[in-house]
Amino acid sequence: MSNPQKSKVLVYLVSVFAITLWGISYIWTDMLIRLNISVFYFVFVRILLAGIILFLLNATRGRITRIHRKDLPKFLLLALFEPFIYFLCESYGLKETGSPTLSAMIIATIPLFSVVAGMLFFKEKVNLVNIIGIILSLSGICLVVMSKGQAGEHVIIGIILLVIAVISEVGHASVTKSLSANYSSQVIVMYQFLIGSVYLLPLFLTKGLDGFSMAYLSADVMYPIICLAFLCSSLAFSLWVSTIKSLGVAKSSIFSALIPVVSAIAAWLLGQEELNGRQALGIIISTIGVILSQHTLKKDRIKE
């Protein structure tokens, strides 16, 4: 296997690993919501911890890069898209719909928006095979996440919030792409979370501490928050920036469509849900869709 091929395989492995962590994050987030922990509390603590972890990591390795003045607006916009808008809308969307599977299915529409953004802003090319792959992947996801569970009382509000989260994620990926040439992935995510924690601080102080008790500091609460901060934020986001840099906005986003698939498998392994034949078929179809979405036509390979 040649070096370019090895590099591409490594990018795919990194992408799948990041998506796996995000798929499991739905279970940890749902645990906190079921414990009636304020969204403003656990989102802020998660983001602040993630920023501190990355700051310490970059500081010990001597890799902290100052933000260039011309890039400051981009970093402010990046943190506004995610974590501020995305995590609040995603968490509240999950809470209002009352269905992790329905929420994950809506989040899985990110590739459809990202393809348009990639073509409009970065002139990324998407061929017919890629489009067929995206359609197959989303079709498979629908099979996986179809649930017989009842939706929450405010399901429409939840769906609107989740759609806003999807749009903010596309904006996040687009801004990340423009910054990735001048900053390392760990530095981008570090600033993203530190600035994001500043955005979230007023909400944390005014709403996140309502009803605060020692239970908020218990192991049942801190365990999922620490897992979300270290694994799903610090690690997964750092890996994802390198994916966007290598594959582009459109092609990298298709991996995010597998988040609900991972969530379904994780819930099955933990005994929280059953995985039936229809869902297993959906996983196979989604996998085929991802492979096709990454296919590069021969003439495009020659150009590259």
82/15 Cα distance (integer angstroms) = 18
Residues 208-217 have a mean pLDDT of 89
Percent of the chain predicted with pLDDT > 90: 28
* Whether residue 304 has pLDDT greater than 50: no
Residue 279: inside a domain = no
Residue 282: inside a domain = no
Residue 258: inside a domain = no
Residue type at 93 in one-letter notation: G
Q: How confident is the model at residue 302 (pLDDT cuts 50, 70, 90)?
A: very low
Q: Which domain holds residue 229?
A: 12-127+149-253
* Whether residue 132 has pLDDT greater than 50: yes
Residue 21: inside a domain = yes
Which of 75, 280, 282, 259 lies closest to 178, judged by CA?
Answer: 75
Residues 170-196 have a mean pLDDT of 89
Q: Are 261 and 282 in contact (CB under 8 A)?
A: yes
Question: Would you state the pLDDT for residue 84?
Answer: 94
* Whether residue 142 has pLDDT greater than 80: no
* Whether residue 299 has pLDDT greater than 80: no
Question: Would you state the pLDDT for residue 145?
Answer: 61
DSSP SS3 for 156: helix
Sign of CA dihedral 243, 77, 74, 122: positive
Residue 277: inside a domain = no
Residues 143-166 have a mean pLDDT of 70
Residue 141: inside a domain = no
Residue 181: inside a domain = yes
Sign of CA dihedral 238, 144, 268, 280: negative
Residue 134: inside a domain = no
57/51 Cα distance (integer angstroms) = 10
Return the CA Rg of the chain. Answer: 19
Q: Give 157-175 pLDDT, tens digit per residue.
A: 887 898 898 889 888 888 9
| Number of structural domains found in the chain | 1
Q: Are 263 and 24 in contact (CB under 8 A)?
A: yes
Q: Which of 24-38, 104-118, 246-260 has the highest mean pLDDT?
A: 24-38
Phi-psi label, residue 248: left if phi above 0, alpha if psi -120 to 50, beta otherwise? left
Q: How confident is the model at residue 222 (pLDDT cuts 50, 70, 90)?
A: very high
Question: Would you state the pLDDT for residue 122?
Answer: 63
Q: How many residues does the chain have?
A: 304
75/69 Cα distance (integer angstroms) = 10
Percent of the chain predicted with pLDDT > 70: 78
Question: Locate tokens 């990194």: which residue?
Answer: 14
Query: Which pTM does this prediction carry?
Result: 0.75
Q: Are 54 and 185 in contact (CB under 8 A)?
A: no
Q: Give 57-91 pLDDT, tens digit per residue.
A: 999 988 888 999 999 999 999 999 988 999 889 88
* Whether residue 259 has pLDDT greater than 70: yes
What lies within 8 Å, CB to CB, of 212 at 6+ separation is: 41
Q: Give 223-247 pLDDT, tens digit per residue.
A: 999 999 999 999 988 888 888 878 7
Residues 99-128 have a mean pLDDT of 69
Name which residue leads in pLDDT, 3 or 221: 221
